[in-house]
Amino acid sequence: MSGRALGLGAAVVVVLALASAGTTANVARAANDPGVPQLQPPRLQPLPPPAQVNGALAELGRHLYFEPRLSGDGSRSCASCHEPARGWGDGLPLARGYNGTEYFRNAPGLLSVRLKRRLTWDGRLDGGDLPTAVRDMVTEAHFMNADARLVQERVRQVPQLMALWRRAFGDTADPYGPQIFHAIGEYLKTLDATPTAVDAHLRGEAVQLAPAVREGLALFNGKAGCVRCHHGPLGSDGRAHRLGLADAPALVQEPLRTITLLRHHATLGVPGYMDERGDVGLYAVTKQTGDRARFMTPSLRALMHTGPYMHNGAFATLEQVVDFHLSGGGAGSELQPVALDARERAALVALLRALSGAPAPVHEPVPGDYAPVSRGQR
């Protein structure tokens, strides 16, 4: 592609981004708005009961989630980056992008995503609106790069999907893009983390926690101070914080990731985006200087299955994550160092492991007369 064509494409992206920048920024600021009610005092909470879902709609969504026809070239499905066997993440430090691209952040797991206030590491999506989040993933060029009108036509051509569609929407209903996203969002509501003995303890039930887990919970709520940012049923305050993590070297060493990063900045209207070479986090959404390098607090659920950890996939083990936090983080971090001995650090890791239940069995759809799900080459 010529330099002129690339320049024109970038200009179009910026114009489209500026049209919605104000609304996007206002929504994202809510993630760190001190006026948003907080738990007082903050505490870990057990998982709530399962969500009430429309069974027929969720079943349609299950098939669509694993359907590669929802991507532009038919090569990848939602499960390409959010695999059941990997805690609904992908097991990579930085996620794979659509063919010909690479992404610049870690793919978060989706378990209990219905409970998240904000979605994505920069909090740009509303956790209470899963269909819109699905639309963003399906249609965004560096994720699945599909047009909703094309996707709905592809669904119409698959008899098995049409049977499920009519069951969910009626005998005369035809596929329609927004309803596709709604169906997948309904399925996502069923993907809950597995309740654990820690949940039973938090509900006040008489359960026997391992001594290290009991000590870890006491440290978590007390001396270590983890609960200040990690509370609620997900172990997340749903806010963005600066921990001082250095950018992943791949952002500048791998050109395809650099290009995706710059396109992301351009799409969101980041001032002087071509001069940026690092992940600016929440700043890309709010354009507030104080939000540079702030990222959303992740869930503590199912961590045993979702490594590597952090927005840049910097840490391979939970021990590394705990050590980083207790050391006070990196340059400019909001964290303060906490002196814990080796036994206490191990107790915190034991608690984090105890918050990971055994993965629930997942029944992936069996393809009929159409191609099996493709998750791309690793």
Going by C-beta distance under 8 Å and a sequence separation of 6 or more, which residues neighbour residue 123? 28, 31, 240, 282, 285, 296
**DSSP bridge pairs for 294:** 281
Eight-state DSSP code of residue 57: H
Going by C-beta distance under 8 Å and a sequence separation of 6 or more, which residues neighbour residue 42? 227, 228, 231, 232, 237
370 domain-assigned: no
d(CA 51, CA 28): 25
15 domain-assigned: no
Last-in-domain residue among 146, 165, 188: 188
Going by C-beta distance under 8 Å and a sequence separation of 6 or more, which residues neighbour residue 274? 262, 266
The reported pLDDT for the residue numbered 40 is 63
274 domain-assigned: yes
Last-in-domain residue among 161, 188, 215: 188
Same domain, 215 and 298: yes
Label residue 29 exposed, middle or buried (CB < 10 Å: 0-12, 13-18, 19+): middle
Label residue 297 exposed, middle or buried (CB < 10 Å: 0-12, 13-18, 19+): buried
Same domain, 120 and 248: no
The reported pLDDT for the residue numbered 173 is 86
Same domain, 85 and 202: no
d(CA 177, CA 132): 11
Same domain, 155 and 224: no
Model confidence, pTM: 0.86
CB atoms within 10 A of CB 161: 22
Same domain, 109 and 215: no
Identity at 94, one-letter amino acid code? L
13 domain-assigned: no
Same domain, 171 and 246: no
Angle 130-139/148-156 helices, nearest 10 degrees? Answer: 90
The reported pLDDT for the residue numbered 41 is 80
- Number of domains within the chain: 2
Last-in-domain residue among 134, 167, 188: 188
89 domain-assigned: yes
d(CA 241, CA 172): 49
Same domain, 164 and 262: no
Same domain, 336 and 307: yes
Eight-state DSSP code of residue 229: T
Same domain, 145 and 265: no
d(CA 69, CA 351): 41
CATH assignment at residue 283: 1.10.760.10
Same domain, 340 and 208: yes
182 domain-assigned: yes
DSSP per-residue codes, 154-196: HHHT-HHHHHHHHHHH-TT----HHHHHHHHHHHHTT-PPPP-
325 domain-assigned: yes
Domain holding 240, by residue range, is 197-354
The reported pLDDT for the residue numbered 3 is 41
Question: What six digits make up the tokens of 46?
Answer: 């057990």
Same domain, 269 and 302: yes
- Is the CB of residue 176 less than 8 Å from the CB of residue 182? no
Eight-state DSSP code of residue 299: P
Going residue by residue through the chain, which has 378 residues, state the pLDDT in tens, using 9 for 90 and above. Answer: 434 333 434 333 333 333 333 434 444 444 455 444 554 689 999 999 999 999 999 999 999 999 999 999 999 999 999 999 999 999 999 999 999 899 999 999 999 999 999 999 999 999 999 999 999 999 999 999 999 999 999 999 999 999 999 999 998 889 999 999 999 999 999 999 999 999 999 999 999 999 999 999 999 999 999 999 999 999 999 999 999 999 999 999 999 999 999 999 999 999 999 999 899 999 999 999 999 999 999 999 999 999 999 999 999 999 999 999 999 999 999 999 999 999 999 999 999 999 998 888 888 887 554 444 444 433
Same domain, 112 and 208: no
d(CA 299, CA 208): 24
Question: What six digits make up the tokens of 226?
Answer: 């983890």
d(CA 67, CA 155): 9
The H or E element spanning position 322 is helix 318-326
DSSP per-residue codes, 279-293: --BTHHHH--GGGTT
Nearest to 178 by CA among 167, 191, 169: 169
What does R_g of the chain's alpha carbons equal in angstroms?
21
113 domain-assigned: yes
The b-or-e profile of 243-282 (16+ CB within 10 A means b, else e) is bebebbebbeeeeebbbbbbbbbbbbbbeebeebebbbbb
